[in-house]
Each structure stands twice: as C-alpha cells, then as structure tokens.
Amino acid sequence: MQLFPALFFLLGIPSGAPGAHIVQYMYGCEWDDETDEVVNGYRQIGYDGEDFMVYDQKTETWIAPVQQAVHTKQKWDKDKADLAYWKYYYTQICPDWLKKYVEFGRSSLMRKDLPSVSLLQKTPSSPLTCHTTGFYPDRADLFWKKDEEELHEDVVKGEILPNHDGSFQMSVDLDVSGLQDEDWGRYSCVFHLAGGQEVSKRLDKRDIRTNRKTNDGGFDTGLIGGVLGGIAVLAVIGCIIGFFVYKKKHPKGFRATNTCEMSSLAGEDPAVKKGSSEEQSMLKTSA
C-alpha cells in the first residue's frame, strides 16, 4: 500500500484586531493508490500558533479546541450547505487534485535507486568502511552484521549525505583490529532501502580498496585512482552534457517568459478561495 498525503498551508493576518496576529490554515486528504480509498480528510485553523477550529469529517461538524471558538463552531454547524460542500471537497475534489500531483511528480515520488557498495580501508589497522552511494530516496539504513545478527558494538555509522545528482551516500565503519582471519567471511555490510529492497556485501579482503603503500613503494590505486579518476571523468562528461543542454535550451540567448504557462495546467484549488472569506469573517468576530 502506498499512501499519498496532500497537505496545504495558508497564512494570513486578520483585520479588525489590534496588533499583528497570525492565522494558519492546514487542510488536505490521504489517498491509498492500491484500494483507491480516500483514507482521511482534514481541515484545521490556528490562531497565533494555537488550534482554533478543526473540521471532523466523520461527524460533519466543527470542533472548538478553545472557548473563544465555541460561538463560531455553533454558527458554522448550522450552515448545512457549507458542511455538505466540505464533505464533497474531501471525498471528491481533494483526491482528484492529489492524484494529479502524484502523476505529475511520479518520476520523483516513485523513484527508487539502489546504491553501489564499496569496502574501503586506509591502512590495515584502520576501521573498515562500508560506503554506499547513488541511492534514492534518503529513507535508508546501513549496518554491519555478523552471521544474521546486526552489530552495534565497534560500529560507527555516518550521516546520510546528498550527492550532486540528487542521490545520496552513506557509510558505516567497523573496527576489525581484533578480527580473526577465519571470521572475515561471517561479516556482511547490509544496505536497506525503504520499501524492503536490500543490498548485501560480504566481507572479503580481496574486495577492499585502499590507498596504502604497496611493496614497490607506490600506492594501491584501488581507492585514490578509482575514486579520483571516476570524479574527473564524471566532471568532464557533466560539463560536455551541460554545454549541449544549455545550447539547445538557449539557442538565441534570453527570452521573455510567459508567466501564465502553468496556470492552465495547474488551475486553482477551490478550497483556497472557498475558505478565505468565511474564515477571515470568523476571526473578526472571535478574536
């Protein structure tokens, strides 16, 4: 089940009240793309950072969290036409808008990329690093395990960091100073992506990339040559691609932009226009 929430915020300053005050609107709905069920609809109004009014979709009434909102609640509960509109909005209009947003952003919302996994070590006495890069989204976990048990001791986990291409990277270190040679094969580095996908790499000395000196006085090119060489190649390719994309999009330099290009596609959420006048009126009488 993939649950998609829609959440909208509006801010305003009510008139008729001394000083500056903040009105907050939060409304939205949740849709299950497998069952096509609208799970929940909600509309909340805040005043100066505190709850003021909450719409209850199940009972089709308003809830007043504070005494100052009771008068407005009683008034709005009598407006059956308005309550019927909000019921229709949260069961029909809001889900339709949410489905459009999901479709427009499907490439990013549904994107899942598994990473490449590398074993890195500076010297034989240094901690062994399991490094993953290129995964998306950032809802992921990385850990070491021995046999089938996750390790918590002698382990240092790094933060999830962004890459320039929008993907992410993460690493976790394991202290191998007391590790016996016969036990190396019992250890694995496991990457877990939200949704259940996993990548596991068993610990093998032959797979470790390092920049330590070799017997001939040089350096093992596994880490330095591989990483820096890869970065250099990607940088050159990125520059070439960027140049042609720029030339294609800007064949004659700058051009005027039609600010209305997106209006016909996106339209306007009727809840924004619907809620503004009546809720401003509420605040005049209740503030």
CATH architecture of the region 116-210: Sandwich (2.60)
> According to CATH, where is 3.30.500.10 located in the chain?
3-108+266-286
What are the pLDDT tens digits along the chain (287 aa)?
Answer: 444 555 555 444 444 556 788 888 888 888 877 777 877 788 889 988 889 999 988 888 999 999 999 999 999 999 999 999 988 888 888 888 888 888 888 777 778 899 999 999 998 889 999 999 999 999 999 999 999 899 988 899 999 999 999 999 999 999 998 888 888 889 999 999 987 899 999 999 899 998 765 444 444 544 444 444 454 445 545 555 555 544 555 444 434 444 333 333 445 555 555 554 544 544 454 44
CATH class of the region 3-108+266-286:
alpha beta
> According to CATH, where is 2.60.40.10 located in the chain?
116-210
Give the pLDDT confidence score for residue 49 in this predicted structure. 85
CB-count exposure of residue 72 (10 Å: 0-12, 13-18, 19+)? buried
pTM tops 0.75, yes or no = no
Query: Beta strand pairing status for 161-162 and 168-174?
Result: antiparallel
